Structure 1
């Protein structure tokens, strides 16, 4: 891995570092490819994905006779199917091709549906690994990859076997003298996603991780949940039916980030906080004296939203958003 390894950092050796950070790709192959292209364009030293690799929906494609397919009540031929699959890969939608019997099984058997979701999630992440390996083959770059709250734990097994993806959660990663800790769980949400924790448990876990760091003030906190009460955690206020609240013709927003994340950043004042989770809240802010960043996400449009950050001599020299 060249300069970058999992050993404890030498506190006297702090170099320059160009980071490209993104999060919440949610199965969008197009956004992932753009992330790799952007990394090569800006000549990044480090690539980081902050979590939520998994897509959110699965569309069954029913294979009929005579080269026809039924997709969401539309009949298409093979050429039309190729265009639809390309669109699904771009916007993060999973798909599976089945016959009519297979469709009935998916519709009626929850266990069969869950197993198919698992299969396509693993398949797409393995494909991303192959794409990354080919795109980055002339470099020593790896992608430091965390899971988010929407990601089932079995995706860690794909990352562990990967050629280019490197697991970060529960590790202290040395990035040219800067230490990085990562955590993908978030405070409870109305959707009860796979990886949620109560605030007290998040704080206790983060505190244990921080205690493994030589110097938190020179560290990167790669935490999926953004700090509460910042520019990074504004989301629509929901009513009891999980519908956005609208007043005076405008949607009402509220803070939904983690109070534990805010507390740990206020106490230890890391060099920078990298966050995601709240797609509509792209922005940066200060917590105590720590710069915190959320690049936001527009994965379902096949767009990349990322942050390019330059660390130099123990400080954040510059940061900017990349959108495309």
Structure 2
């Protein structure tokens, strides 16, 4: 039996793109729709960025997605936050109608008898300022990659930035001891990913 999956990401709150996604999912009668991160709009100014995204999650996103559930009530919609989505607003997504979508971060979900998906929002450290969903890549670097990895950290990583909190932005700095304690490599060794 065929199972149609429609995947997209990086919509960044573009309502026209959400409408196109919903219309296309309906057109092809998608069984599963996955929005793989960067759900909310980006703002160039840090002022009100967090609140702006929260408002989108609480008020705009449900209105954009309900037509999908009305036309395809048996379809499953999965969301995961991306590195431009403020982690502090996760609760705004969790409070929405559970029939509308499923959040996937840190979960293994069966799509079919043969296919599971696993949600994982973290990305390697970026040159961007928001650090909510960033971690070091590796805790135990293979000896043949040490030089390349150290160079990458010097040239591609921005180790300072901000994290979202309920009271606004908080300055954040990655430190070398964090690399040994917490990394994407360590997370992926968890039984969830096996």
* CA displacement at 1:191 relative to structure 2: 1.3
More strand by share: 1
Query: Is 1:198 aligned to 2:136, yes or no?
Result: yes
Paired position in structure 2 for 1:16: 2
Task: Check the 8 A contact 2:36/2:79 in 1, yes or no.
Answer: yes
Task: Check the 8 A contact 1:52/1:147 in 2, yes or no.
Answer: yes
Show the 5 A alignment for 1:38-53. Answer: 38-53=24-39
Unaligned runs of 5+ in 1: 1-14, 60-109, 212-324
**Alpha-carbon distance in 1 for matches of 2:76, 2:49:** 27
Show the 5 A alignment for 1:171-186. Answer: 171-177=107-113, 178-186=115-123
**Alpha-carbon distance in 2 for matches of 1:179, 1:23:** 19
Q: If the length of structure 1 is used for normalisation, what is the TM-score? A: 0.41
Runs ≥4 residues deviating over 3 A: none
Structure number with greater CO (CA < 8 Å, separation at least 6) is: 1
**Alpha-carbon distance in 2 for matches of 1:22, 1:58:** 23
Unaligned runs of 5+ in 2: 139-182
**Alpha-carbon distance in 2 for matches of 1:27, 1:46:** 20
Query: Is 1:130 aligned to 2:68, yes or no?
Result: no
* CA displacement at 1:193 relative to structure 2: 2.7
What are the Cα deviations for residues 239-286 of structure 1, in whole angstroms up to 9, with x where unaligned?
A: xxxxxxxxxxxxxxxxxxxxxxxxxxxxxxxxxxxxxxxxxxxxxxxx
Show the 5 A alignment for 1:40-79. Answer: 40-57=26-43
Task: Check the 8 A contact 2:105/2:118 in 1, yes or no.
Answer: yes
**Alpha-carbon distance in 1 for matches of 2:103, 2:64:** 18
Distance 1:51 1:44, change over 3 A: same
* CA displacement at 1:58 relative to structure 2: 5.5
Distance 1:119 1:193, change over 3 A: closer
Paired position in structure 2 for 1:207: 189
Aligned-partner SS, 1:145: strand
Task: Check the 8 A contact 2:38/2:83 in 1, yes or no.
Answer: yes
What are the Cα deviations for residues 204-244 of structure 1, in whole angstroms up to 9, with x where unaligned?
A: 11221213xxxxxxxxxxxxxxxxxxxxxxxxxxxxxxxxx
Paired position in structure 1 for 2:49: 117
Q: If the length of structure 2 is used for normalisation, what is the TM-score? A: 0.67
Aligned-partner SS, 1:48: strand
